């Protein structure tokens, strides 16, 4: 049966937090997906791709929640590295989402 879904998801969140480029952003989650914003709630300014888990050994990267997966990876580290490569080069500090 494999590990419960929360374990790969936890690995994804922890791996993303360990990445300085992503740690500077405001993280938020929904439907087993991890997203990032340059502003806090309530008005998020989403930046970068969607990271998600689908199984114990499958992580994905997509442009938006509604789009098809751009790529799939065997590890959280590979998925996070791909997400960082897709971030804009100049990101401002997180601001209030008023």
Distance CA 75, CA 59 (A): 7
**Which residues have C-beta within 8 Å of that of residue 94, sequence separation ≥ 6?**
24, 25, 26, 37, 38, 39, 40
Question: Which token pair is 32?
Answer: 């087993």
Q: pLDDT confidence of 65, banded at 50, 70, 90? A: confident
Q: 95 by DSSP, 3-state: which?
A: strand
Q: State pTM to two decimals.
A: 0.87
Domain ranges within the chain, ordered by starting residue: 6-85
In percent, how much of the chain has pLDDT > 90? 65
Q: pLDDT confidence of 50, banded at 50, 70, 90? A: very high
């Amino acid at each position: 049966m494999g590990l419960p879904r929360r374990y790969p998801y936890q690995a994804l969140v922890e791996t993303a937090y360990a990445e300085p480029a992503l740690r500077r952003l405001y993280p938020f989650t929904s439907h087993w997906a991890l997203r990032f914003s340059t502003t806090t709630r309530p008005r998020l300014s989403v930046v970068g791709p969607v990271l998600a888990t689908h199984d114990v050994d499958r992580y994905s990267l997509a442009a938006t929640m509604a789009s098809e997966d751009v790529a799939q990876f065997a590890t959280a580290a590979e998925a996070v590295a791909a997400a960082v490569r897709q971030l804009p080069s100049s990101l401002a500090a997180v601001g209030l989402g008023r």
